[in-house]
Amino acid sequence: MCNPRFVLGAFAASLLIAGCGGGPPETVPPAPIEPPPGRTPQEIADSIARAQFVRDSIRAAQEAEERAQAQAAAAARMTLQQTVYFDYDESTITAATEAALRAKVEVLRGNPGVRLRMEGHADERGTSEYNIALGNERAESVIQFLTNFGLGGDRFTSVSYGEERPAMQGSNEEAWALNRRVEFVITAGGDSIVGS
């Protein structure tokens, strides 16, 4: 991947010759009809071709950068939205959950406008009202973890769904493990997320 700034500097003179400074135009300007004195039509055609090449290179580089930025933003968004899981009847942060939350901390630091809603869930075991309490504890435990890294607590809200919104139906360990979770919903700043 070539550096777009380098490309820009190397071909700045050619740009001036072609008579189209500033940003790259959206459309190719029409070639001059009257050849200026002292230059052959071939020289003029070469000059135009060089300018065209520069414009294309710059556009490709910029598109690549935009693509990279979009990919980084998508990765950041995915990091923010990644669901974290808990042990049975626990709201403590496991090692896997901690790794996922640390990644979120980095994204949240780079995106101070982003706000999140933590949605706490529980598996079906235990009474339904107690599971609402458990879902709340899990969501609050995640918020506590993030604010311990200096992130403002006012950026986070929580809601508990208890056992009422399972990610997977079923009364087995696989379903239970997937249902003991906190999901993350971006409630503000979602349009301008930047990657790191």
Closest CA relative to residue 139, chosen from 96, 88, 84: 84
CB of 188 vs other proteins, minimal distance in Å: 14
Site of tokens 């379903």 = 175
- What's the alpha-carbon Rg for the chain, to the nearest Å? 27
CB of 74 vs other proteins, minimal distance in Å: 25
The size of the chain, in residues, is 196
Binding mask 63-102 for other proteins (x = CB under 8 A): -------------------------xxxx-----------
Residue 15 or 151 with smaller CB distance to other proteins: 151
Half-sphere exposure of 161 (CA within 13 A, CB side): 17
Asked if 178 touches other proteins (CB under 8 A), the answer is no
Residue 15 or 143 with smaller CB distance to other proteins: 143
b/e per residue 39-55 (b: at least 16 CB within 10 A): eeeeebeebbebbeebb
- 184 with 138: CB under 8 angstroms? no
Residue 48 or 182 with smaller CB distance to other proteins: 182
Closest CA relative to residue 86, chosen from 132, 138, 28: 138
Residue 11 or 176 with smaller CB distance to other proteins: 176
Query: Taking CB under 8 A as the criterion, which residues in 99-158 touch other proteins?
Result: 125-130, 132-133, 136-137, 140, 143, 157-158
**Where do contacts with other proteins occur on this chain (CB under 8 A)?**
88-91, 125-130, 132-133, 136-137, 140, 143, 157-161, 164-165
